[in-house]
């Protein structure tokens, strides 16, 4: 039933021959203490541990919190988090409940929002939590959001999980416009047709190469990339100290992060090295 773990919600609607826009059906499945969200296929769009609904279950979603490594912990409750693609609301709930941040999510599919409220413990809208039902590509172009977001999480996939649906330099430039001067974007890259190198090039055009970091891929194949509006480097000692601080304060499993978090170009070089080795093995 469960094929591979990956995240995201559909940011743009499919169109049939008649021009009518359709969205996939949303369903829920349970496996022991874990609840999964699906969009019309067995692909997992998000998950929740039923006994700990405000913790983050999936490893790659935990890594989407990598922006915390560059942030003064005391300032976090004063910041604004935004998610493009609600999924099972793991990031939205964590930022709202655990980090105590002002939190906004942009989601296209009203079924996803309804299911998250009914089955995934997503709290109702309030002065500090807001879910906007809209096409993310269009919503983030509105000037009212520009320069207001400190932590932007981008996890936009359709129900087939083939590749990021929004993955252009223009889209990432719009994302950059959302960020405060110290703001950071994290992006989940996953899919049968996705290209890490291509996506990285698109982000570099919008943010600059010196602004990009990446986690090495998870076992499921998710690669989380981090893009800073204002580039900031961390040496190995600073990175380890930041990982310890994040784990101690918010109980995120950051123990291995310092070993798998590198500049994005180093991650790209590692990806190319692996591909070259696989190619040689195949040819042999």
CATH code of the domain in which 75 resides: 3.40.50.150
Residue 155: both structure tokens together: 């996890």
- Identify the pLDDT of residue 62: 97
Q: Is the pLDDT of residue 270 over 60?
A: no
Q: Is the pLDDT of residue 86 over 50?
A: yes
Inside any domain, residue 2 = no
Find the domain containing 77 and state its range.
14-283
Inside any domain, residue 5 = no
| pTM as predicted | 0.85
**Whole-angstrom distance, CA of residue 84 vs CA of residue 131:** 10
Inside any domain, residue 219 = yes
Inside any domain, residue 45 = yes
Inside any domain, residue 57 = yes
Inside any domain, residue 9 = no
Report how far Cα 277 is from the mean position of its chain's Cα atoms: 29
pLDDT winner (highest mean) among 100-109, 164-173, 267-276: 100-109
Nearest partner of 6 among 270, 227, 200, 218, judged by Cα: 218
**Structural domain total, the chain:** 1
- Identify the pLDDT of residue 22: 75
Q: Is the pLDDT of residue 125 over 50?
A: yes
Q: Is the pLDDT of residue 284 over 60?
A: no
- Judged on CB neighbours under 10 Å (0-12, 13-18, 19+), 243 is buried
pLDDT higher at 20 or 31: 31
**Whole-angstrom distance, CA of residue 70 vs CA of residue 228:** 10
Inside any domain, residue 274 = yes
Average pLDDT over residues 222-227: 93
Inside any domain, residue 7 = no
């Amino acid at each position: 039933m469960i094929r591979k773990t990956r995240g995201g919600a559909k940011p743009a609607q499919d169109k049939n021959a008649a021009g009518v826009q359709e969205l996939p059906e949303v369903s829920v499945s349970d496996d022991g203490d874990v609840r999964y969200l699906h969009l019309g296929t067995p692909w997992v769009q998000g998950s929740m541990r039923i006994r700990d609904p405000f913790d983050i279950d999936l490893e790659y979603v935990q890594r989407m919190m990598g922006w915390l490594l560059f942030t003064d912990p005391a300032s976090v409750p004063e910041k604004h988090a935004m998610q493009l693609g609600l999924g099972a609301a793991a990031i939205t709930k964590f930022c709202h409940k655990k980090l105590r941040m002002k939190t906004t999510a942009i989601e296209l599919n009203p079924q996803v929002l309804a299911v998250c409220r009914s089955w995934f413990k997503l709290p109702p809208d309030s002065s500090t939590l807001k879910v906007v039902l809209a096409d993310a590509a269009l919503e983030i172009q509105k000037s009212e959001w520009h320069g207001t977001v400190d932590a932007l999480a981008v996890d936009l996939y359709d129900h087939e999980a083939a590749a990021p649906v929004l993955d252009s330099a223009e889209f990432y430039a719009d994302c950059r416009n959302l960020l405060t001067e110290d703001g950071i974007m994290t992006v989940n890259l996953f899919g049968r047709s996705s290209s890490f190198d291509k996506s990285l090039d698109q982000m570099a055009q919008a943010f600059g190469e010196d602004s990009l970091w990446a986690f090495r891929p998870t076992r499921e194949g998710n690669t989380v990339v981090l893009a800073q509006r204002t580039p900031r480097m961390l040496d190995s000692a600073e990175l380890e100290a930041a990982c310890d601080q994040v784990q101690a304060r918010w109980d995120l499993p950051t123990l291995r992060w310092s070993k798998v978090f590198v500049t994005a170009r180093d991650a790209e070089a590692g990806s190319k090295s692996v591909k070259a080795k696989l190619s040689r093995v195949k040819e042999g």
